[in-house]
Structure 1
Amino acid sequence: MPLRLFNMLTRKKEVFKPARGKTARFYACGPTVYDYVHIGNLRTFIFEDVLHRALALNGYKVKMVMNITDIDDKTIRGAKKAGKALKEFTDFYAKEFFKDIKKLNILPAAKYPRATRHFGEMKKIIRILLKKKYAYETGDGIYFDISRFKKYGRLSGLKKRELKIGARIQADEYSKDEPSDFALWKKKGPPAGGRPGWHLECSAMSIKYLGLPIDVHAGGVDLIFPHHENEIAQSEAAFGKKFARFFVEGEHLKVEGKKMSKSLGNLLTFRDLERKGFDPLDFRYLTLTAHYRSPLSFSWKSLEAAQRARRNLMSRSNADGRGLEKFQDKFLSRLNDDLDTPGALALLHQTSGRGPLLFSDLVFGLGLAHPPRAPKIPAEIKKLLGRREEARAKKNWSGADKIREEIRKLGFSIEDSPAGPKVKHTLS
């Protein structure tokens, strides 16, 4: 069965085949490096990695480019608030991003271009758009005229009557309620001489490294409008060619059914997961249990279940290698049906043998080749354990019991013995 992907441009599953030879040119929207990436971002990066691996498993040479947005409204605001130079501020969070994706077994892209290093390419596109009358200049910037691009709204489903002709918007992010002429270049504010609009950054970098058309453009559903819509408009208006053949968009992750936000206090990063003793690959497993086009509701209970299931698979790593041929065909039929990872995972759990385990892990990336090791005891738990021992030494039994309860809530149990307390994860 050939690889079929749901193309947001056509709203249907289509057989994927590269436009040029056997190389799949793949552009993925990367992080805006103004903070640690949260687990919702990471779900998107995992889905993009599964797509990368699926393309490779189907025999394609994959040329993947993922941008790093190191200049936009958020990064400038964040650097100013932190009292740091923009480069110092964004370099720190870019390094943290690369640490996170390494822990997740995400395959490296061929290129990670940074927006601040591609102003020349962006200005070139602006000059073309001005010459073709798709753009115009005002006192505060240069804007794309959405009324001139007749296909505007095709990706996001906007109707022509919904467009606010003549209205302008400077913000990088805005809702479908205000589809207006968007900024290609902003004259005001840092750095001196102005800066590009966010949408232009991705067009310039993807076209430079992949050419036109891009075979697959991937990201989260929150980027469909305005980001991906605006990328299409400015790229196709400038060069008169199709920008991307497939738009593949991943759904949101929610925490306990609610959207993540700082105000709700549920904006989680890897640091929160590791503090409770979870392996990043437990989270990777959890994301695979939901189809990438379905919302995923994160909870600590669901992560515990994912940890148990992953460890169960790892415990089979020493089994024999029989049954691989039949498994391969069934596995690929599920994977190639628009990346049906829940179906492929279910198949793996129904199959015995080391061969299927290793073959499936070419896509799953769950580190299934080795038996499970006891989860590491986080530093926070070790500190609590030390405090409990101090309380016990002072015969402060109620204080020791309170600390035991704190430790239990973090997912660990204590067994007192003559040799000292033994602490273990409740799932180990």
Structure 2
Amino acid sequence: MASSSLRTRPDPGSGAMHIDALYEILLRIPAKELCRLRAVCRPWRSLLSDPHFIAAHAARHPGPFIVAGHDTSCRDDGILCDIINQSGRVIKQIRSTGDGDEDEWVISAHLDFACIAKGSTRRCQLLNLATGDVFTMPEGLSEEHTPRKMEFLNYRAAVAFGKVASTGEYKLLRVIDNGVFGNPYKKLCEVFTLGCSGNARWRGKAASPDTVDMRTYSRVVIDAIVYFFLDENQDVGPRSIASFDLSTEEWRVTIRGPVNNFVGDELVDYDNLSLATLSGSLVVVHRNLDASMDLWFLMDFDNGLWVKQHTMRVNLCAQRNEFLAHPLLILNDGRIVTYIGSKGILRIYNPRTNTCTDAAELGPCIGIGLYSGNLLSLPNGAT
């Protein structure tokens, strides 16, 4: 019962009108319910898995969608991440693919993948949200860095991934340091290409000339460029931004950020600065003590030109340490979807009315990001 047969119209009175009506009804049903309907019978499974039907359904239910990642040690239902639509409704859930012997937690989500840390060794995996395939990265350091005799557990690492448009390759960047353990400071940079033929391994690359900030909201990926804030201890002026090009596998020139040490008479706390991507642009988020957020968009990388396009009220109290907020998405009507990490909610800001509306309660999330793929391709939906 493929979609092509459903769409044909044989002789009048043959039932084709009823089949077409069923097809149109199914296109309007959310993906979570359709995945359950696949279990009704073999013909329904064939229809709801047909690429033509999936494409038509995607056109009716456009993304991107929000991925809220969890730590399985904090849950008893095995849910690794929730897929949420732009109105805040959970439309799919992805269960842990492990056997339950080791904890898993989502570091970040980008494109079709969720980046997962697993077990006490914190080894890295990529979960393809569309197919359910799991790619486990090699443990240990690259061959180029192994002679350093660095204990692999005595480190902190930041992992980011992106897609190189010219080749279609997915690449991971891993930045490592062990400066928090009292040893001589070491900075390492390594790259891994997903699905490459031959001996797949981490490849050692030149480290950043400056020490980058390893925290989650201090890095972001746009296309095949990974951006990092520099470590705050190095900056004496506007906080600078380093970037790594996954296509050339080299660090680019460092640029200055848009926010000075002082805004008026207020000394900027670097903890109130973060990086985001909105509408394909690099954005510096500055959280102010008056519970507002300034969003600075990078307009010209070569000239370091920034423009403040929004100042958002988010109804939080900075004095009560509530102000952990991160913008995720600008909707077609201009509203901005923001994750309020201190409260575990999605809050939508309307710049026309300067008002906020809570859209969903997510609870505590470890990693949050966007999924731009097809919902019906998502495996292992929770019932």
Q: TM-score, normalised by structure 2?
A: 0.25
Instruction: Please state which structure has a larger fraction of its residues in helix.
Output: 1
Q: Which has the higher strand share?
A: 2
**Which structure has the greater CA radius of gyration?**
1
